[in-house]
Structure 1
Amino acid sequence: MTAPGQLTLSVVIPTYNSAPWLPSTLEALAEAVRRSQTQVEVVIVDDGSTDDSHELVVRIAEGFPASIVLLRQPNSGRFLARWAGIERATGQLVLLLDSRVILAPDSLAHVLSAAVDDPEPAGWNAHVYTDPASPLVGRFWEVPTYLFWGDYLRDPRPYDLTSTTFDSAPKGTGAFLARRDVIAAAFCQAWPEGDAKLISDDTKILRWIAENGGIRLDPGFAATYRPRTTLGGFIRHSFDRGTLFVDSYAGTSVPRSFVLLFAAVAPLLGVAVLASLVLIGNGVAALALAAACVLIALAPVVPAEFNRCPGRGIAAYICYLPVFLGPFWSGLVRGVVVHRNAFFDRSRSVGSTAGKTNK
């Protein structure tokens, strides 16, 4: 039953072979729904899973405190899976929730109340913690996170993301709330022209919403993310992140485009210089260059630790950096090739209002 003044809500969950995580994700969502006292529907989109996700959802739906709609489609990537859920959603608000994300018990009640009391932000982004029980391989990304967004993470507080502050705090669509029309418009603006599996399904969407009403990052809207737990999953994820990183930032500014291109070329140049030094017999210079590269790669640990990055996150970065670099760089190169036209697309520049208005 919906409390007076509350808005109806559709929770859209894309899932692909998420059977190990779905039961706990939905259990946490059920508790959050009970405490929210609002009318909720859950739209789960099975994106071509080959595990028993479908059967799990059917069993869980029987005792769930809200209606569950299960859609199935051939594997098309998270962007199109979310879009299928958005099209099916009937709520005034849509919560995008990843199958690995656990909502805090009171977070749904908090954000729905905040959205009613302060309708100015176009979207609300959860403060997402990495599960402290994750194995070491799952905590690698904490150092980059605390490196780039340490100012916010040292003191989490309600924070508005706009076109000027967009890159100054962490954000994502793992737990993200907005009006259905806003999310639909953002997806249309970011609509893929090629393979939807190779395009960013969060940064471009969030940037458009930040530029068209703003996003409130709110620690009271809290969730926990369970990262990948195997080395193989980490390697595949790193490769994909390299490609999506290019799609997220290529063409948004000249400096960013230059950095992306430099990052794709620099390792090749470094190897060529190193090989040349060895061939001419200058082993000391070769060792000095190799040592300098190692120090540069480990440098992010210092500001991350200053920004209070957890110790296990720092340990994960040091242990898995050698494993990460090759796949991420390979994905980056793939991204430069696949998204080469984006480097010349002025409509992608920060602050631009150009783009598609329908899919």
Structure 2
Amino acid sequence: MTDDRASGLDLSIVIASYDSAPWLPTTIGSLQTALARSDVRAEIVVVDDGSTDGTAEVLAELASTSAVPLRVIAQENRGRFLARWEGAQAARADRLLIFDSRLLMGPDSFAYFETVDAALGSPPWNGHVPTDPAAPLVGRFWEVPTHIFWGDYLAHPAPTEIGLDNFDRVPKGTGCLVIDKQLFLDACLAAWPEENAHLVSDDTKLLRYVCERRPLRLDPGFRALYRPRTTVRGFLRHAYERGTLFVDSYAGTSALRNVVLWALAVVPVIAVLALLLSLVLGAWWVVVVLLALVVLGLLAPAAAAAAGRAPGRAVAAYLTYVVPFGAVFWAGLVRGLRVHRRSFARSTPAA
């Protein structure tokens, strides 16, 4: 790493935090441990996004004892997108590590990063972030969708260059992202709508902008562990938000994706109406066929994920929670179609 920055820092680690008091001590502790095992010079900037759970007190204690400079920015609750924006604006280094408040940084990740980064020309880095295998059942649900879409990489993780050609075939996200500060701010501005910034996708849309300009390195050597939500209520709240952000991520990126988004909203309604009408008319064979199609549609992802080597507990989590997840995700998706309806007029080539 070089010494040419006026701040003397290699990285500003930006953490957006909302009601993360139980996680922050170990999250920040893991960063401190990994930094101590490398020569990377960093600061930590935590944006408290209107937390109500004692986060402020936890951060005050951590700041007073941290061996790594730790600053806290407090704001009213405005959502993760704007929290990260504020943290990036306040960062003193020219390069950022956007880091989720629920992650544990791998102890050797910074040492690996500094060994490889300069030789690669200092690209943006996307961390390899598996889910904590000790998480409760509800926390393992998302491993089924990830193994369906990104199963080839997850079965055999290896350093991968992400560009627009393979953008949808490999895991990516902004939970563990090293990126030049200016590029991140430019990407935020490109993704920023005129309003409803709290409903803006802070990963897929933003990363697509980045990959249009520079390939993104996904590398198992730069890794962190994700600790998922532990309650059904938290899981369903997150599913509702993801439904809305799913629309923001893909609306307008191609005509086919526009059609798929509308189909995901309309087809379930048609299916329910057809089922009710069949019951009223006594068309039991139609009822049986519709129910069979629904069951097969729900089971198929579990079978595909299992074939892609998804852990057994992840498949069990999917089978346990797929019905409430589907209902809540659909509701979030419908909200997204309403909130982001202008995005459908923005027709761009498919990534």
**TM-score, scaled relative to structure 1:** 0.94
Deviation per CA, 1:144-183, whole angstroms, max 9, x where unpaired?
0000000111110011111111111010111010111211
What letter matches 1:88 in structure 2? A
Structure 2 Cα separation of the partners of residues 170 and 136 of structure 1: 22
Unpaired segments ≥5 residues, structure 2: none
Q: Give the Å deviation of 1:4.
A: 6.9
- In structure 1, stretches of 5+ residues that fail to align are 352-359
CA–CA separation in structure 1 for the residues paired with 2:87 and 2:31: 17
Change (3 A) 1:141 1:265: same
Q: Secondary structure at the match of 1:19?
A: coil
Q: Is the 8 A contact 2:9 2:92 kept in 1?
A: no
Preserved contact between residue 2 and residue 10 of structure 2 (Cα < 8 Å):
no
* AA in 2 matched with 1:11: I
Q: Are the aligned partners of 1:3 and 1:38 in contact in 2 as well (CA < 8 Å)?
A: no
Q: 1:109 aligns with which of 94, 108, 111?
A: 111
Q: Matches of 1:22 and 1:297 in 2, distance apart?
A: 36
Match for residue 34 of structure 2? 32
**Structure 1: how far apart are the matches of 2:342 and 2:192?**
15
Q: How does 1:251-262 map to 2 (within 5 A)?
A: 251-262=252-263
Match of 2:282 in 1: 281
Asked if structure 2 preserves the Cα contact closer than 8 Å seen for 1:239 and 1:328, the reply is yes
Taking a change above 3 Å as real, the CA distance of residues 341 and 4 of structure 1, as seen in their structure-2 partners, is closer
The 1-side partners of 2:349 and 2:22 are apart by: 39
What is the identity, as a one-letter code, of the residue corresponding to 1:320?
Answer: Y
Deviation digits for residues 330-359 of structure 1, max 9, x if unmatched?
A: 00111011111111113x5446xxxxxxxx
Letter of the 2:242 counterpart: R
The counterpart of 1:84, out of the listed 83, 86, 92, is 86
The alignment covers a number of residue pairs equal to 348
Matches within 5 A, 1:195-344: 195-344=196-345
> Which residue of structure 2 aligns with residue 134 of structure 1?
135
Whole-angstrom CA distance in 2 between matches of 1:60 and 1:339: 39
Write the mapping of 1:117-196 to structure 2, written as runs, cut at 5 A: 117-119=119-121, 121=123, 123-196=124-197
Contact 2:13 2:45 in 1 (8 A): yes
Structure 2: how far apart are the matches of 1:92 and 1:3? 12
CA contact (8 A) 2:47 2:73 kept: yes
The separation in 1 between residues aligned to 2:113 and 2:211, in whole angstroms, is: 17
Helix, strand or coil at the partner of 2:37: helix
Q: Which residue does 1:51 correspond to in 2?
A: 53
RMSD across aligned C-alpha pairs, in angstroms? 1.5
Deviations 1:233-267 (A, max 9, x none): 11111111100000000110111111100000001
Q: Specify the SS of the correspondent of 1:149.
A: helix
Structure 1 SS opposite 2:130 = strand
Asked if the contact 1:158/1:217 (under 8 Å) is kept, the reply is yes
Summarize deviations over 1:289-324 as a string: whole Å, max 9, x none.
Answer: 111111112101122111110110000000001110
Mapped partners of 1:216, 1:46: distance in 2: 29
1:14, 1:266 → 2: CA distance? 36
Identity between Structure 1 and Structure 2 (%): 47
SS in 2 for 1:228: coil
Shift of 1:120: 5.9
Following superposition, the deviation at residue 282 of structure 1 comes to 1.1
Question: How much has 1:195 moved relative to structure 2?
Answer: 1.2
Counterpart amino acid of residue 121 in structure 2: P
Give the whole-Å Cα distance in 2 for the aligned partners of 1:98 and 1:126: 11
Contact 1:126 1:219 (8 Å CA) reproduced: yes
CA-to-partner distance for each residue in 1:107-153, whole Å, 9 max, x for gaps? 122123322121163x1000101011110011111000000000111
Distance 2:114 2:14 in 1: 16
* Between 291-300 and 137-146, the greater mean CA deviation after superposition: 291-300
Question: Does the residue aligned with 1:36 lie in a helix, a strand or coil?
Answer: coil
More displaced 10-residue stretch of structure 1: 65-74 or 189-198 = 189-198
Q: What's 1:95 paired with?
A: 97
| Alpha-carbon distance in 2 for matches of 1:80, 1:349 | 27
Q: Greater shift after overlay, 194-203 or 9-18?
A: 194-203
